[in-house]
Each structure stands twice: as structure tokens, then as C-alpha cells.
Structure 1
Amino acid sequence: MDSGIVRGYEGRSKAGSPDIRLDWTVEEILAVHQLPLLELVGRANAVHREHHDPNKVQKASLLSIKTGGCPENCAYCPQSAHHREVDLTKDRLMDPAKVIGLAAKAKAAGAERFCMGAAWREVRDGKDFDAVVQMVEGVRDLGMEACVTLGMLKPHHAARLAAAGLTAYNHNLDTSPEFYSEIITTRTYEDRLETLATVRSYGIDLCCGGIIGMGESLRDRASMLHVLSTMNPHPESVPINALVPVEGTPLGHRTPIDPLELVRMVATARIVMPTSTVRLSAGRSSLNREAQILCLIAGANSVFYGDKLLTTPNAELGEDAALFGAIGAEVQDTASI
């Protein structure tokens, strides 16, 4: 392994931020990812401690405001209408008053950010989008941050969401450009990048990450991080997900990844995107306490809290309470819904 490549993150910089780079190469990121594990975690922890309080972990919740029936064919997703063997109840868009009421409940429990997800391919004008805008306005009126994931959108949709006060928009890359067509064929990688550019042009923060364990190569993982780490600026939030195989989906047969693969991905994301919030997301329910703690040491500083992430299982609330109690972290509460 070329030690010069591995040390590269210490060199080139963005003005005012010596270790923030926008010019990572796939080869450099892959070299970092493949460092001996103790060296990798040590380096990631050093970067994390420089830019974040290592004793603070944000808890975030995600509410499905419209479940199932999505026309996309994402191979991992139980909400796709293409995967008819999946046992999933399809629900219409929730009433805005109910959503805002749940947001108020979350705020009373200490929540700062309220995340809402709709199983749509794209945003369309009409009463449903009007209702989502009303939800965003209601959440912001409560004094909370608001985040949504709604699929692709056009500039006038982003403009309305920005005017409503939207804090962040989630739109994951999922995987590398090279592997993407193995997972999704109903929209292109360019569609995703165009959505991200549109969102950012209206001053809305990006929440953008991906999934490992879908059959991709290590180079694919590095390539996905390359796309994220060459964005200017880096996404404010980077969710790192491990595939949760769901029976009835094309990837339902896959064996869950070794937890140390998730540790490596978290650590590499932290090194190449030092100031982003790295979120330990789907797949956490399969990690024992020690593996989760190792991810936090490696640079994750947010977890999704609650027994469900949209439609897939998450860690139990009691388990999370025990985890945070064991590490003695100062938790930034964004309570579960």
C-alpha cells in the first residue's frame, strides 16, 4: 500500500480548514478504507475529536408519512410496488395535523429535528405536496428543524420547501455510479445528482449517504464516498446504512455484513468528510453494543433512535438507553416518535 496515498488527507486543503479536502480520488479513499483497522479507527477518532465533541451523540427519529406503493424498483426497498411478495401495509399520506401533533410530542420529549419520509418517486404539484409544505411549516412553527425525503423534485418544489423553512432534504446516493444500475433501473444516478444540486441551490442542507452490503465491491464503496467528498461543500449529514435484507425484495437473500465493515465505512467517511454529521443508520439493530460503540469511536455522531426506520427494524429503545448509559455520552435529544 502506498503510504503517501494513505497520508494524503493531511495535506491539500480548503482555505481556512487544513484537513477538509474536495479533491479526494477513489484510489486514496480506498487506501484509507483498507488501512489496518486499529490505525483506521485511530485516525478517524483524531479527526472526529478535532471537529466534534466526542461525548455528544445526536438521536434522530424518522416518521413515514406515506408508506408503500413507490413506483421505483430499488432492489433493497420493501416499499417498492415492484416487490409484490413483500408483506407491507400501504398507507396514504398522513394528515398534516396528526404529523404536527407528533412533532409537538417529540419536541416535548426533547426533540430538535423532525424527519418525514414519503414513498414517492418524485414530488408532484397538488394537494399532497401542499400537505407536506403545511407539515414543514407546522414543524418549523414549533421551533424545530424539519427534514423530508420525498424523491426527486424540481426547482419550484425546492423553492416552496425553502420558503416553508425546510432545514434539510434527504436524498441518498445508495451506492457508486458504477454499481447503481445493479440496484435501481427506474431512475439514473444523474437524476439523483440533479436533485441534490437543486436542493442545495435553494440553501437547504443535504442529508446524503448510502448503503453497504448489497453486493457491491470495496471500490464501489470508495467510489460512493468519492462522489460525496468532492461535493462543495460536503453534505451536512451523511447516513451510513447497512442493508437490512427484507424477504420478498431482490436482496432479501443476502447475508448481513460483518459489523466491522460498517465500522470501516464510518471511519472512512469521517476522515474524508471531517465536519459532516455521520449518522449510524439502517442495520444498527444487528450490531451488538460493542460494535455500536466502536462506530461512535470511529466518528459516528448521530444514531436513529426508535424501534423502526420507516419500515425496517431498528434498535429497541431500552437497548439504546442502556447503550447511552454505558458510554456516558451527552445525548442531544431528538426523541422517538
Structure 2
Amino acid sequence: MADLRTDWTLKEISDIYHTPLMELIFRASTVHHKYHEIGEIQVCTLLSIKTGGCPEDCAYCPQSAHNNTEVEAGEMLDRETILSAARKAKKSGSTRFCMGAAWRNARNTKDFERVIDMVKEITSMDMEVCCTLGMLSDEQAAALKEAGLYAYNHNLDSSEDFYNRIISTRKYQDRLDTLNRVRENDISVCCGGIIGMGETDKDRIELIYNLATMPTHPESVPINALIAVEGTPMENQPKVPWHDMARMIATARITMPSSMVRLSAGRVDMSIEEQALCFMAGANSIFSGEKLLTTDNNKPSKDRKMFDLLDLTPREAFKDAKEEHLPEYR
């Protein structure tokens, strides 16, 4: 079995990334075979529980208050709407339910208390629960852990240099600090990035380097293709080609063999054949459902047809989970 390493060099990752594509996919598939069941895919659903009005100025995001998009700021969804969405997701085959709120950071308000309650309720449905709520304090991370939160998403987005060119309202280190708080509270880390924002290959390699050299690899690594939304500074960015997604996924798979690598945003624009090559390259997780926060995504019925055609099977909840990440009731 390939060794799990956290001492990768930039040159090693660059050499992997620049490997001829078919050879790269073959190598990544070989690593994938050693660490994961082939054809087993984790199906996740992502729900925006509080949409729009975010004070951050992320250049790619339609939910930023700085960007003139059609996304309107709204209140947090009510309890039954969220629970109904979770039940529908489970019925459709999802085993992880992710809740996203357009906050710069979680605040100690009634809304955060409601998130805590939702984590408890949805965990009791025997689903892995993930949240993405912005920056966290130690106390908030501990409260989420006590409620049964399984995973926390906080993406690095890109290299530090490129990040600082597209976001000015927070620093890269702020993201790293939140990830450390999540890890210190024994919550599974979900952390990846976005390609297609105008970054270079060097930026993409540095993103993988920053993830693969963490003391512990993120348990989940989402690879997103930019969805260019009108009204954002990136509205004219071209569509990311499938082979760029496959190259990023393969590089992530080789450098982080045991992580779940998620083929995330942008999948809606990919054919089944293109997605199949990404699965061959090491992707073993997807988001299913009509929306990814505010952008379009693949409908469950379409994904069921793909699963049947490619003989894919959904991964069960909490499979191979580390003991410290399991909710107490299990």
C-alpha cells in the first residue's frame, strides 16, 4: 500500500501534476484501488440554510454583499424546512447532509443555537452532518462537536498568493486557524479548493501542497470548478475543461491516498463519460441535489442513471470513520 505522507515537496507535487494525463489517471487509479472500494461513491447533499448578504468580498461568490447578483439576502431557514430537506436527501440516497450559512464567522446568536439543534436532529437520522459557517471560535467548535457534528468544511480555495488577490476581507491564515480549531476538537476536516478562477498551474499545485502537508490530511477534499455567476468579478471566466478537473483530482488522490476526494461544483456541466474519468482518477464523493447553495447541480434522478450505468454504489454513513469523529450515540 502506498505510504501516507505529509512531507511532500512542491517539486514532487509539480512532477505529479504535470504527468501526461492518461498516465496520471492510471497512477491515481492504482493508488485509489489500494485505499478504497472501487465504484463506491459517497453521496452528499448541500443546503444553504442562510443565503446571501455575506460581508466577505470573495470575487467568485454570488452570496457576497459586495457583488451585484440576483441572490438576495434572506433569513435562516426554519426548522421544518431544514429537517424536511435532510429527510428528502436521505431518501434520495445521500448519507452526508451539509448545511451552509453565508456568514463571515459563526456568531453566538439564536441562529447558531438553531444550527446546534439541527446537527443533533439530523445526526439522529443516522446521517453524517457537515457544516460550513465561516470562521469558528474554540467554544463554537466544541459546541458543534458536542452536538454530534461529523465534519466541518472550510476551503483554502487556492494558493495563498492567489487567495490574497481575490479576497481582501480575511487572510489565508484565518482559514488555517479555523481548520486547526476544527481538528483540535476532533471534528473531521473537509477542505479543498476551486479551479477556473484565473489562477495558474503553480497556484493549483501550491493548493494541493498546502493540503497534503497538513499534519493530518483532510478527511474530505472537495475539488470545485468555478461556476461563473453574472454580477461577480469572475462572471466572464471560461468553463473549466473536464481534463483540468481530472488532473486536480488525480494529484489530490496520489498525495492524499486515504482522503475522500469530492467531484464538487461544476459537475453539472460534465457528461457521464467525463465524470467517469474523474472517478477513475480517484474521485469517490459527489454532491447530489438540484442546488449547490445557490447554483445548479445534478438532479438525483440523473445521478441514479449514472450510478446504474457505471455500476456505482453509495457509500454508507460513518463507514471507516475514526472513533474520535463518531457522534456519542453510535
Q: TM-score, normalised by structure 2?
A: 0.93
Q: Which residue of 1 aligns with 2:55?
A: 71
1:99 aligns with 2:99: no
In the alignment, is residue 304 of structure 1 matched against residue 304 of structure 2? no
CA contact (8 A) 2:94 2:288 kept: no
Q: Which residue of 2 aligns with 1:37?
A: 21
Q: Relative to structure 2, which stretch is displaced further, 307-316 or 249-258?
A: 307-316
- Cα distance in 2 for partners of 1:318, 1:110 equals 11
Structure 2 residue 214 is matched with structure 1 residue 231: yes
CA distance in 2, matches of 1:291, 1:90: 35
Aligned with 1:179: secondary structure? helix
Deviations 1:293-318 (A, max 9, x none): 00000000011111211011112333
Q: Any gaps of 5 or more consecutive residues in structure 1?
A: 1-16
Aligned to 1:12: none
Structure 2 SS opposite 1:238 = strand
Alignment deviations for residues 167-209 of structure 1 (CA, whole Å, 9 cap, x no partner)? 0000000000121111111000000000000111000000000
- Residue 221 of structure 1 corresponds to 204
| Structure 2, gaps ≥5 residues long | 318-330
Instruction: Tell me the residue number matched to 1:204.
Output: 187
Amino acid at match of 2:162: F
Is residue 324 of structure 2 the alignment partner of residue 332 of structure 1?
no
Q: Which residue of the partner structure matches residue 6 of structure 1?
A: none
**Number of equivalent positions:** 317
Match of 2:34 among 47, 50, 55: 50
* Residue aligning to 1:13: none
What is the CA–CA distance in structure 1 between the aligned matches of 2:88 and 2:20, rounded to whole Å? 45
Cα distance 1:139–1:317, how it changes in 2: closer, same or farther (>3 A)? closer
Q: CA offset at residue 122 of structure 1?
A: 0.2
Correspondent of 2:261 among 278, 285, 294: 278
Among 120, 127, 148, the residue aligned to 1:137: 120
Alignment pair present for 1:287 and 2:270: yes
> Which residue of the partner structure matches residue 66 of structure 2?
82
Q: Distance in 2 between matches of 1:65 and 1:41?
A: 36
What amino acid sits opposite 1:23 in the alignment? Answer: D
Distance 1:223 1:311 in 2: 28
Q: Tell me, in whole angstroms, the C-alpha distance in 2 between the residues paired with 1:188 and 1:230.
A: 19
Question: Residue 45 of structure 2 is aligned with which of 52, 61, 64?
Answer: 61
Residue-by-residue CA offset, 1:196-250 (whole Å, 9 max, x unaligned):
0011100000000000011111011010011100112100000000111001000
**Which deviates the most, 195-204 or 135-144?**
135-144
When residues 301 and 18 of structure 1 are mapped into structure 2, their CA distance, relative to the original with a 3 A threshold, is closer
Contact 2:43 2:95 survives alignment (8 Å): no
Residues 1:214 and 1:110: Cα distance change in structure 2 (over 3 Å): closer
Counting aligned pairs with the same residue, the percent is 51
In 2, Cα distance between the equivalents of 1:78 and 1:133?
26
SS of equivalent residue, structure 1 residue 32: helix
Partner of 1:28: 12
* Runs ≥4 residues deviating over 6 A: none
Taking the aligned partners of 1:95 and 1:226, their CA distance within structure 2 comes to 40
- Write the letter of the residue equivalent to 1:226: Y
Task: Tell whether the 8 Å contact from 1:176 to 1:220 is kept in structure 2 after alignment.
Answer: yes
Supply the distance in 1 between the matched residues of 2:28 and 2:51 (Cα, whole angstroms).
Answer: 36
Q: Deviations over 1:38-94 (max 9, x none)?
A: 11000000000000001211211101100000000111100000002x111322111
Out of 188, 202, 219, the residue aligned to residue 171 of structure 2 is 188
For the 8 Å contact 1:270–1:298, the answer to whether it is kept is: yes
Report if the CA contact (8 A) 1:110-1:333 is conserved: no
